[in-house]
Amino acid sequence: MSAHAAKNANVSGWFDGVRHVYPVRVYYEDTDAAGIVYHANYLRFAERARTEMMRCLGTEHRSLMQSDGVAFAVRSVDTEFFLPARLDEPLLVETRVDAVGGASMRLTQTVMRPADAADGATEIGEVLVQMRVRLACIDAGLRPARLPGAVRAALTELLKNQ
């Protein structure tokens, strides 16, 4: 883990090999009347995890917009729901880079219940939701833009080590 990643590990998650792991807890606002996570909130968990993965790689969205004039937009998400998460449960969101293109990337994000649901658990347990996400890099005019070199290098390094 780099010094930057270690400094942000508590709030940004961590890398376990090539997979980024981000902990979340299910709050009341995430659930329906039965205490089960509302399906759209898994997308929110995944978005936070992607943002924190980029932060662990040394890139923040605000600085990308300011210095390179680019941002990431979700092009598509294919989602499979296997099991529900419930109120107060700790969860882990695993993010893996599957492909890096000139102006895009593909990721697999898995929301899971830790093997030991005690606070701070980090071992993989039951898979709840799996998402295949395609992101596009866009400029201020919402047109496709090339991934900045440092971002491409960091993502490609993860791919090489798989």
Task: Give every strand in the sheet of 70-81, ordered side by side.
Answer: 14-16, 19-25, 90-100, 104-113, 126-139, 70-81
> Two tokens at 43?
């997308």
State the catalytic residue, choosing from 32, 78, 88, 116. Answer: 32
Token look-up 């866009």 returns: 138
Confirm if 68 and 149 have CB atoms less than 8 A apart. Answer: no
CB 10 within 8 A of CB 52: no
CB 36 within 8 A of CB 85: yes
Known active-site residue 32: yes
Annotated catalytic residues are 32
